[in-house]
Chain A
Amino acid sequence: MELPTSERSRKEVVDGYSTDKMLAHAARLRDERNFAAFPIIDCDAHHYEAESIAEIAEYIDDEVLYQLAKSNPRILSAGRGTHQPMGGRITRYPLRPLEKTPADGLHRDIHLTNRFMDAMGTDYSVMFPTGLLSAGLESPEMEATLCRAYSRWLIEKIGKHSDRVKVLVQLPFGAPEEAYKMAQEFGDAPGVAGFHVSSVRYNRIHDNAYMKTYALIEEMGKPIALHSGFNSNDPFMKLGEPFIVMHALGFTLFNVLHLCNWICNGLNERFPKLKVVWTESGLAWVPWVAQRLDSDYRMRSSECPMLKKLPSEYIKDMYYTTQPMEMPNDLSLLESTFKVINAETQLLFGSDYPHWDMELPTTIYDLPFLSEKAKRNILGENARKVYNIDVSDRYPNYRPMA
Chain B
Amino acid sequence: MARKKEILVGKTSEFTDGGKKIVPNGKSDIGVYFVNGEWHAYQNFCPHQGGPACEGLCMAKVEAIVHDDKTVHGMRFNHDQMHIVCPWHGWEFRMEDGVSSADKSFHLKKYDVEVRGSDVYVLT
- When A and B form their complex, what is the total count of cross-chain residue pairs whose Cβ atoms lie within 8 Å? 48
B105 close to A (CB within 8 Å): yes
Decide yes or no: A362 and B50 within 8 Å by CB, A89-B85, A356-B90 being known contacts: yes
Contact check, B89 vs A90: say whether CB atoms are below 8 A apart.
yes
Verify if B69 is at the interface (C-beta below 8 Å from A): no
Contact in complex: B77, A63 (CB < 8 Å): yes
Flag if A89 contacts B49 (CB, 8 Å).
Answer: no
Q: Are A89 and B59 in contact (CB under 8 A)?
A: yes
Complex Cα–Cα for A329 and B62 (A): 24
**Interface of chain A, helix or strand or loop or mixed?**
loop
Residues 51-91 of A, flagged 1 when their CB comes within 8 A of B and 0 if not, give 00000000001111101000000000000000000111111
Q: Which of A63, A65, A356, A363 has the most CB of B within 10 A?
A: A63
Known: A91-B57, A329-B103. A362 touches B90 (CB 8 A): no
In contact, B62 and A64 (Cβ under 8 angstroms): yes
A158 CA / B74 CA spacing, docked (Å): 45
Across the interface, name the chain B residue whose C-beta is closest to A86.
B90
Interface residues on B, range: 10 to 19
B100 CB to nearest A CB, Å: 12
Q: Mark A28-72, 1 if CB is under 8 A from B, else 0.
A: 000000000000000000000000000000000111110100000
Report the count of interface residues on A (CB-CB < 8 A): 21
A360 at the binding interface (Cβ < 8 Å): yes
Closest to A64 in B: B75
User: What is the minimal beta-carbon distance from B50 to any residue of chain A, in angstroms?
Assistant: 7
- In contact, B77 and A360 (Cβ under 8 angstroms): no
Interface mask (B1-40 → A, CB under 8 Å = 1, otherwise 0): 0000000000000000000000000000000000000000
A62 touches B76 (CB 8 A): yes
| Pairwise interchain contact A88-B57, C-beta atoms closer than 8 A | yes
Task: State how many angstroms separate the Cβ of B77 from the closest Cβ of chain A.
Answer: 5
A357:B89 contact, CB within 8 angstroms: yes
Write the nearest CB–CB distance from A392 to chain B, whole angstroms.
31
Per-residue A-contact encoding for B57-69, CB less than 8 Å = 1, 0 else: 1010010000000
Q: Give the chain A neighbours of B105 by CB distance below 8 A.
A: 329
Residues of A within 8 A of B85 (CB): 89
In the bound complex, do residue B74 and residue A62 qualify as a contact, i.e. CB atoms below 8 Å apart? yes
A401 to B28 CA separation, bound complex (whole angstroms): 33
Nearest to B105 among chain A residues (CB) is A329
Within 8 Å of chain B (Cβ to Cβ): is A359?
Answer: yes
Asked if A90 contacts B62 (CB within 8 A), the reply is no
Binary A-proximity of B65-102 (CB < 8 A = 1, otherwise 0): 00000000011110000000101111010000000000
Instruction: State whether A356 touches B89 (Cβ < 8 A).
Output: yes
Contact, CB under 8 Å: A91 / B87: yes
Distance A65 CA – B105 CA, assembled complex (angstroms): 29
Q: Which residues of B contact A359 (CB under 8 A)?
A: 49
- Nearest CB on A from B90, distance (A): 4
Q: Is the CB of B57 within 8 A of A89?
A: yes
Determine the distance from Cα of A329 to Cα of B100 in the docked complex, in whole angstroms: 14
The complex places the Cα of A142 from the Cα of B77 at a distance, in Å, of 43
Given A329-B105, A359-B49; A67-B89 close (CB under 8 Å): no
User: Please, could you name 24 A-B residue pairs with CB atoms under 8 Å apart, sorted by A?
Assistant: A61-B74, A62-B74, A62-B75, A64-B62, A67-B59, A67-B77, A86-B90, A88-B57, A89-B59, A89-B90, A89-B92, A90-B87, A90-B88, A90-B90, A91-B55, A92-B87, A329-B105, A356-B89, A356-B90, A357-B89, A358-B88, A359-B49, A360-B49, A362-B50
Give A contacts to B, CB under 8 Å.
61-65, 67, 86-92, 329, 356-360, 362-363
